[in-house]
Structure 1
Amino acid sequence: MESSLPDLEAILLVGGQGTRLRPLTLGTPKPLLPTAGVPFLAHQLARARSFGVRRIVFATSYKASMFEPVFGDGAALGLELVYMTEEEPLGTGGAIRNAAQGLTAGPADPVLVLNGDILSGHDIGDQVRRHVAREAAVTLHLTEVDDPTRFGCVPTDDEDRVTAFLEKTPTPVTNRINAGCYVFTRSVIDTIPAGEVVSVERQTFPGLIASGELVLGYPDRTYWLDVGTPAAFVRGSRDLVLGRLASPALPGPAGEFLTLPGARVSAEAKVTGGTAVGARAVVEAGASVAGSVLGDDCVIGEGASVTDSVVGRGAHVRSGTVLRDAVIGDRAVVGPGNELLAGSRVWPGVELPECAVRFSSDV
């Protein structure tokens, strides 16, 4: 049972450009991409609220003006939302310091910091309580991965004290990595230089460790996913729809597929594997869709096959086309008989004629 943490405040880092997810992020910030039927952040916000978080400061930068129209003041979510914008990107530490202007927490209070591109099933409440009990400067959620070279490698001692922070090292000493959820003591945030570009991974955390401050690890082996690539984004949506990670924001029961209002799936189509079918989207007879994300108003034509792919808003995948591990941008048209595999990406508004390609990485 998730336990409440009254009056806990959080900072949500949502300033990144999401370049690895292009073309999906050309017009929409990564945290707002539709994921299992709702904007990605809706899952994070609902989960934070379930642990007692009631006030969240958004640290925005890229397309900053798009967040408030989606979430407003947070009242509909049972939250108070505040928006702080970096005029120039300030790095992770600079973003946290800038967003701290919107906090009301006192110097000794814990402040939760969440990255806006992570899905996690760990116990936030337990992480915060452990931070407070140990009187740590910062407590880092840690998880284990098969390839730690792509992440911040975080060795700890027998009492979970972090002994080093090795950002993207080619020779990791452990497979335990920074999972992107932190609990800071508010006074520690205030030591980050204001208005400067600062990396918590390369500067703040190593500096605290070197000065003898307690940087605590919170190791955990529950569900965790960085949704920074198209394949991971599709997997995250799929896992939420299938119920592999529970989310209070899921707009329907978990199952093989999720349909939003106005969607039409032919009785002669097959939709499986945690597919999310957007509002007013159409899946025609004979089509097969597995483990994919279908945007609002898109059309999957008769006999088309779509697997582990994203089809953007208003896009049209015509009859007989095969998509596998592909990204189709908003309003793009893929003519009949095409075959796009293994990381293919079609930019928004592009029209591919009939049988134009059997494979393309970028069109």
Structure 2
Amino acid sequence: MHGVEAVVLVGGKGTRLRPLTLSAPKPMLPTAGVPFLTHLLSRIKEAGITHVVLGTSYKAEVFEEYFGDGSRLGLELEYVVEEVPLDTAGAIRNVADKLREPDVMVFNGDILSGVDLTGIVDTHRKHEADVTLHLVKVQDPRAFGCVPTDDEGRVQAFLEKTENPPTDQINAGCYVFRREVIDAIPAGRPVSVERETFPGLLEAGKRLQGHVDATYWLDLGKPEAFVQGSADLVRGVAPSAAVAQPGDYLVLEGSAVHAGATLKGGSTVGANCTVADGAVLDGAILFDGAVVGEGAVVERSIVGAGALVQAGAVLKDAVVGDSAVIGARCELIGGARVWPGVVLPEAGVRFSTDA
């Protein structure tokens, strides 16, 4: 895509996904077999954008160690580390020195979306906008800030979360900025796009355009959404050029899955895992080296790297940290989280909170 480059903001600590994010930044967590960021980068490449700047902070070195210069993905990747938290607009301004095109597409690094990226750029250029925002229609907009637009799609306001939202359109975390708008953001301090930058542009009479659609969209910030997003990628419900062959499950190299085990619901079995006879994985994510014993059930749950789920244990909507041990016949339900290295006893103890 001529005259467009991308910025991906990946500096967050991912606190809502702990304990998984204690060892890796959220965009680097395995999702349908690869770090989540791989899916976003594959879509950016597919849209014809090749120069991408990653705005990093938490565990910044992990990104460059994995992706390097980006050539493996057909991209040119650069990295800028945010030394102190700068909020969204501040993080965008922080990478300005690396930018070189007139239009800059900015992505939040934890959003899974099916929007047509070239369509957003087309909208931006057609309306000669200063900033174009991807807006998505959601069933329940109360949990989000709403963005009303006029008949031409021009943004009217940025509204805080409210019980009676006047529109079902929300900010979907993807923007196209004119380069000069980024340069005008104050440098070296925290700046919010929704509370400072965008309202300031509206006051100044600048053109903020909405690109509204109802394609697939999911914020992967919470465990239940992370599990759903991974399953949707495996099954092909969410688009990604990084998933070669969508199906009901995905098993990576080196894993041993017993013929008597059941895998379904978009489950992913990481590399070098073991899944024993009679085990059931339904919408499950096993990180590399995880072991699931005979007759164990793992539903809509995440099992960390090297963790052990012993025979007959039941996990439903649970998160198990790296190297933890879930004793035989234990039950983890309703959002239970087990911290890395914790060993839970056998004999059918039920946990529904942190352990």
Same fold per TM (> 0.5)?
yes
In 2, Cα distance between the equivalents of 1:303 and 1:337? 9
Query: What is aligned with 2:49?
Result: 53
Q: Compute the displacement of 1:110 (Å).
A: 1.1
Q: Compute the displacement of 1:246 (Å).
A: 2.2
What is the letter of the counterpart of residue 46 of structure 2?
S
Q: Compute the displacement of 1:129 (Å).
A: 1.2
Query: What is aligned with 2:269?
Result: 277
What is the letter of the counterpart of residue 47 of structure 1?
R
Query: What is aligned with 1:110?
Result: 103
1:205-244 residue pairs with structure 2 within 5 A? Answer: 205-244=198-237
Query: When the two structures are superposed, what TM-score results if normalisation uses the length of structure 2?
Result: 0.98
Alpha-carbon displacement from aligned partner over 1:164-209 (angstroms, at most 9, x marks no partner): 0113334421111000000000000111001111000111111111
* Alpha-carbon contact 2:3-2:103 (below 8 Å) kept: no
1:118-137 residue pairs with structure 2 within 5 A? Answer: 118-137=111-130
In 2, Cα distance between the equivalents of 1:138 and 1:31? 25
Query: What is aligned with 2:37?
Result: 41
Q: Does 1:253 align with 2:245?
A: yes
* Alpha-carbon contact 1:269-1:287 (below 8 Å) kept: yes
* Alpha-carbon contact 1:110-1:132 (below 8 Å) kept: no
Alpha-carbon displacement from aligned partner over 1:129-155 (angstroms, at most 9, x marks no partner): 110121101000001112222222100
In 1, Cα distance between the equivalents of 2:138 and 2:19? 27
* Alpha-carbon contact 1:329-1:349 (below 8 Å) kept: yes
In 2, Cα distance between the equivalents of 1:7 and 1:161? 23
Alpha-carbon displacement from aligned partner over 1:235-271 (angstroms, at most 9, x marks no partner): 0000000110121112x41111001110111000001
Match among 153, 164, 169 for residue 157 of structure 2 = 164
Secondary structure, in 3 states, of the residue corresponding to 1:351? coil
* Alpha-carbon contact 1:285-1:303 (below 8 Å) kept: yes
Q: Which runs of 4+ in 1 moved over 6 A?
A: none
What is the letter of the counterpart of residue 317 of structure 2?
D
Query: What is aligned with 2:8?
Result: 12
Match among 313, 337, 352 for residue 345 of structure 1 = 337
Match among 165, 174, 177 for residue 167 of structure 2 = 174
Query: What is aligned with 1:295?
Result: 287
The aligned length equals: 355
In 1, Cα distance between the equivalents of 2:208 and 2:345? 57
Query: What is aligned with 2:313?
Result: 321
* Alpha-carbon contact 1:226-1:232 (below 8 Å) kept: yes
In 1, Cα distance between the equivalents of 2:332 and 2:58? 30
Q: Compute the displacement of 1:357 (Å).
A: 2.5
Q: Compute the displacement of 1:304 (Å).
A: 0.1
Query: What is aligned with 1:188?
Result: 181
Q: Compute the displacement of 1:7 (Å).
A: 4.7
What is the letter of the counterpart of residue 296 of structure 1?
D
In 2, Cα distance between the equivalents of 1:152 and 1:260? 39
RMSD: 1.0
